[in-house]
Amino acid sequence: MDNNGDFPPVKDRSWTRIEDYFESMARRAGLRRIHPHMLRHFVASEQLAAGTTRDELQALLGWSDVSSAAPYVHVNEQRKRVAVERLAQRLVAATS
């Protein structure tokens, strides 16, 4: 970090420096017990909630196996309701 508190371009950062920077920014924001992987987890969870498929997420995050998405799949109550409503609509359409 230079005297202005700025970090060098990404190409010059080591993983340790990225972690240090992340922790520094978290402290400035008043957050504790946070680390860079939590950002990856948040992005993966939000992408899945927004409709990104597991295969797409695998490609975006560079996973070798789609099963890596399993920890990021969170089914909340709203998503359950939407799924049930979609199923009900399909059943009604099929019987009409």
- Angle 42-75-94 from CA coordinates, rounded to 5°: 135
Are the beta carbons of 61 and 40 closer than 8 angstroms?
A: yes
- In this structure, the answer to whether residues 19 and 62 fall within a common structural domain is no
- In this structure, the answer to whether residues 68 and 48 fall within a common structural domain is yes
Identify which of 52, 19, 13, 53 has the alpha carbon closest to the alpha carbon of residue 37: 19
- In this structure, the answer to whether residues 23 and 45 fall within a common structural domain is no
Are the beta carbons of 72 and 80 closer than 8 angstroms?
A: no
- In this structure, the answer to whether residues 24 and 63 fall within a common structural domain is no
- In this structure, the answer to whether residues 24 and 43 fall within a common structural domain is no
Instruction: State residue 7's pLDDT score.
Output: 53
Per-residue pLDDT of the chain (96 residues; tens, 9 = 90+): 455 555 555 555 576 777 888 888 888 888 887 777 888 888 888 888 888 888 888 888 888 887 877 777 766 667 778 888 999 999 988 887
- In this structure, the answer to whether residues 46 and 30 fall within a common structural domain is no
Expressed as residue numbers, the domain containing 55 is: 38-95
Instruction: State residue 34's pLDDT score.
Output: 79
Domain count, the chain: 2
Report DSSP state, residue 5: S
Q: What is the pTM (predicted TM-score) of this model?
A: 0.51
- In this structure, the answer to whether residues 29 and 46 fall within a common structural domain is no
